[in-house]
């Protein structure tokens, strides 16, 4: 069997979105994938680790370095927007996520002044189910 797929879940502020994603990933894939919690701050990382991520790290350099080795990156759309999440997403973080080779699966959740046309306003639990069912079938 080949190496486990490395899935990076990125979140900021309180880590609630990332925690919800990680819980569902663990239910579905158990230990068949490696889940790395990447928080824009230590609180977000700690919350995601409580949801049973395999490992975690916080801050700009951790995100910039770790996404380069990811197979999949999951998070809210703000992770590709410099200064999103009340300024927690640095330009270096956003650039690293956008420019790495990993598949990016972004949830249309943002506090920014941004609207994405053609996206339904599903609640977070349903968005995470869709993420798993339609976008992670290949893992």
What confidence tens digit (pLDDT) does each residue in 64-83 have?
Answer: 999 999 999 999 999 999 99
* Secondary structure class of 6 (helix, strand, coil): strand
Q: What is the pLDDT of residue 1?
A: 56
Token duo for residue 120? 């339904």
pLDDT band with cut points at 50, 70 and 90 for residue 116: confident
What integer is the mean pLDDT of 101-109?
94
For residue 46 the two structure tokens come to 């700690």
User: Whole-angstrom Cα distance, residue 52 to residue 26?
Assistant: 7
Mean pLDDT computed over 39-47: 97
Separation of alpha carbons 87 and 40, rounded Å: 10
Tokens of 1: 């069997």
Rounded mean pLDDT of the chain? 93
Which one-letter DSSP state was computed for residue 55? E
Give this prediction's pTM.
Answer: 0.92
Strands (E) located in the chain:
5-11, 33-39, 55-58, 72-76, 103-107
Domains of the chain: 5-135 (3.40.50)
CB of 16 within 8 A of CB of 92?
no
């Amino acid at each position: 069997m080949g190496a486990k797929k490395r899935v990076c879940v990125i979140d900021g502020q309180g880590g609630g979105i990332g925690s919800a994603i990680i819980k569902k990933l663990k239910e579905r894939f158990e230990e068949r994938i490696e889940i790395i919690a990447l928080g824009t701050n230590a609180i977000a990382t700690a919350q995601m680790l409580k949801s049973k991520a395999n490992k975690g790290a916080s801050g700009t350099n951790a995100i910039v370095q770790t996404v380069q080795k990811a197979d999949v990156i999951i998070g809210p759309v703000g992770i590709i927007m410099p200064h999103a999440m009340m300024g927690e997403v640095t330009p270096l973080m956003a650039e690293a996520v956008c420019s790495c080779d990993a598949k990016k699966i972004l949830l249309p959740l943002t506090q920014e002044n941004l609207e994405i046309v053609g996206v339904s306003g599903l609640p977070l639990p349903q968005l995470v189910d869709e993420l798993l069912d339609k976008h992670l079938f290949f893992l």
